[in-house]
């Protein structure tokens, strides 16, 4: 007999923007909304700032690596990162400072940001877009 004790659910968001910066910012915002709905909108100050540098082989890998790094920092620093100032951002690298607000308890926990179905692409109208699946 098989007994399922735990299960995972996935949450899919659609990140978009007219530039890579807007796309990455939108994805960061959506991740914060999944973790704690409305938390970043209420922020009047930031408690934590962290610098990150990443290199990847394409924009999709860079975005997923970015979100994964932010997620790891969220759990280690106990802060939801609401804003990123991008010093460098192109198809293969980014350097950014993240600004976050400490939290007591998360409403939802994200286990990982997956590569499944993610594909950063620029549409004919110039808008960048990709779905992102968070494993819960």
Domains of the chain: which residue ranges? 10-135
pTM over the 0.75 mark: yes
CB atoms within 10 A of CB 55: 11
CATH code, 10-135? 3.55.10.10
Q: Which two tokens stand for residue 6?
A: 């735990």
* Mean of per-residue pLDDT scores for the chain: 94
Q: Which two tokens stand for residue 20?
A: 């890579």
pLDDT, residue 6, reads: 57
pLDDT, residue 65, reads: 98
Q: Catalogue the E-assigned strands of the chain.
A: 10-17, 48-55, 79-89, 93-102, 112-114, 121-122, 128-135
CA 54 from chain centre, in angstroms, equals 14
pLDDT, residue 2, reads: 47
pLDDT, residue 9, reads: 84
SS3 44: coil
What residues in the chain have per-residue pLDDT under 70? 1-8
Burial of 70 (0-12, 13-18, 19+ CB in 10 A): buried
Judge contact between 134 and 113, C-beta under 8 A: yes
Pairing of strands 79-89, 10-17: unpaired
pLDDT, residue 43, reads: 85
Between the alpha carbon of residue 7 and those of residues 71, 77, 81, the distances in Å are 20, 26, 27
């Amino acid at each position: 007999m098989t007994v399922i004790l735990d299960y995972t659910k996935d949450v899919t968001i659609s990140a978009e923007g007219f530039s890579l910066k807007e796309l990455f910012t939108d994805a960061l915002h959506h991740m914060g909304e999944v973790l704690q709905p409305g938390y970043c909108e209420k922020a009047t100050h930031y408690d934590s700032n962290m610098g990150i540098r990443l290199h990847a082989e394409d924009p999709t890998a860079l975005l997923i690596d970015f979100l994964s790094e932010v997620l790891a920092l969220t759990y280690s620093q106990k802060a939801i990162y609401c804003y990123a100032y991008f010093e460098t951002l192109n198809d293969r690298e980014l350097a950014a400072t993240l600004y976050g607000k400490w939290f007591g308890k998360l409403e939802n926990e994200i286990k990982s940001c997956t590569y499944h179905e993610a594909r950063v692409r620029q549409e004919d109208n110039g808008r960048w877009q990709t779905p992102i699946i968070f494993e819960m």
